[in-house]
Structure 1
């Protein structure tokens, strides 16, 4: 019985990866703004609950004050995902 020929090229060659420009560090204002958003959001929600619901921070918003507070905290949290 004839013997089969071996492969003349390697079985797998990984694709070449293009080296992109490395992302530099964040600007100096990034971390303070990130922390400030989270703290302001927390204070907004705490003030809403302590004031007796609907007195402060913005009486016209009513329960939407919770949405504003959690929105501020969420914005700060999303900034943490881009922090280098």
Structure 2
């Protein structure tokens, strides 16, 4: 059974609107910076904790912070995880 002209116009209009909406959405920019930053921040957090446990009493800044060093190291590793979610 043939479709009416009004029905064809509605279908055509909907297709055009979908195409315009898809064209209006921009693709995200390049995120090539994410992997190096993610790895750097994660390794910095691990290195902070290793230095704290091995030579914490000999390094002036680290010995002054005391147990806050654990929070700093874990915070850096958590930040690396958050940064890794930006990678596409």
TM-score by length of 2: 0.63
The structure, 1 or 2, with the larger RCO (C-alpha pairs under 8 Å, 6+ apart) is: 2
* Structure 2 gap segments, 5+ residues each: 1-16
TM-score by length of 1: 0.65
Alpha-carbon deviation of 1:59?
1.1
Instruction: List structure 1 runs of 4+ shifted beyond 3 angstroms.
Output: 53-57
Q: Tell me, yes or no, if structure 1 residue 40 matches structure 2 residue 44.
A: yes
1:24 to 22, 26, 29: 29
2:53 match? 49
* Structure 1 gap segments, 5+ residues each: 1-15
Q: Give the Cα separation in 2 of the matches to 1:55 and 1:62.
A: 12
Number of aligned residue pairs: 67
Q: Give the Cα separation in 1 of the matches to 2:28 and 2:33.
A: 17
Q: Give the 5 Å matches for 1:1-84.
A: 18-19=21-22, 20-26=25-31, 28-51=32-55, 54-56=57-59, 58-84=62-88
Q: For the Cα contact (< 8 Å) 2:34–2:86, is it kept in 1?
A: no
2:12 match? none
Alpha-carbon deviation of 1:45?
0.9
